[in-house]
């Protein structure tokens, strides 16, 4: 089964539906951009610790499946997004011992179910009905490969134990490569140029 990621226009539309003028909106915007930039699972996002966020070097320490910790890189744009959330919108936690990055309206650690609910509301508001949290993971993986990333580093970022788990993303990227070739085929372009010359003559 071919997985179709969110398009750039769909991502822009979803982001545009978030009201970043409120602390909750700023948080939701930060969650969405983080998931699109890292491919993190919902449970991993909910469990990000503030102490595990390194904005200076651009990475997050994540506790994945099987209680395995890994380092997940983040891009400069998401570094700025997370800095803005922490600096301006993240409230003081209900309990001083709460070290979680993303907090709920009741100033407690956000839950995976809350994140899923956020995505459900974004799907309804944006009209992108196929949107769900795990689609961000697929979208990240496919875009990472299309933008030149390799499957070995992708495996590490996603926290998979084998390459078999990430191989299905290659089917989509292969299909995209075929589409791109049809758009930019050197010989097709040459033939089009020759036809234009003949018409002009």
Which residues belong to the active site? 41, 65, 134, 137, 160, 169
Between CA 86 and CA 52 the distance in angstroms is 13
Residues 18 and 128: beta-carbon distance below 8 Å:
no
170-193 burial: b if 16+ Cβ within 10 Å, else e: bebbeeeeeeeeeeeeeeeeeeee
- Tokens coding 70: 């890994």
Sign of the four-CA dihedral 113, 26, 51, 103:
negative
Three-state DSSP class for residue 53: strand
Q: Which residues of 124-160 are buried (b: 16+ CB within 10 A; e: fewer)?
A: eebebeebbbebbbbbbbbbbbeeeeeeeebbebbbb
Helix/strand/coil for 61 = strand
CA distances in angstroms from 76 to 20, 34, 35, listed in the order given: 19, 11, 14
């Amino acid at each position: 089964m071919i997985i179709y990621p969110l398009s750039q226009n769909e991502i822009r539309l979803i982001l545009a539906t978030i009201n970043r003028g409120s602390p909750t909106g700023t948080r939701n915007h930060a969650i969405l951009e983080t998931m699109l930039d890292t491919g993190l699972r919902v449970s991993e996002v909910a469990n990000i610790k503030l102490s595990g966020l390194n904005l200076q070097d651009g990475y997050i320490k994540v506790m994945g499946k099987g209680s395995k910790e890994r380092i997940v890189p983040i891009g400069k744009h998401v570094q700025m997004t997370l800095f803005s959330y922490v600096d301006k919108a993240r409230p003081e936690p209900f309990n001083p011992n709460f070290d979680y990055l993303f907090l709920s309206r009741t100033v407690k650690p956000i839950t995976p179910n809350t994140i899923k609910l956020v995505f459900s509301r974004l799907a309804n508001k944006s009209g992108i009905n196929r949107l769900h949290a795990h689609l961000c993971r697929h979208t990240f993986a496919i875009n990472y490969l299309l933008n030149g990333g390799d499957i070995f580093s992708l495996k590490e970022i996603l926290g998979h134990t084998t390459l078999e788990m990430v191989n299905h993303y290659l089917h989509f990227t292969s299909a995209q490569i075929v589409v791109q070739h049809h758009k930019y085929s050197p010989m097709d372009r040459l033939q089009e140029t020759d036809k234009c010359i003949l018409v002009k003559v």
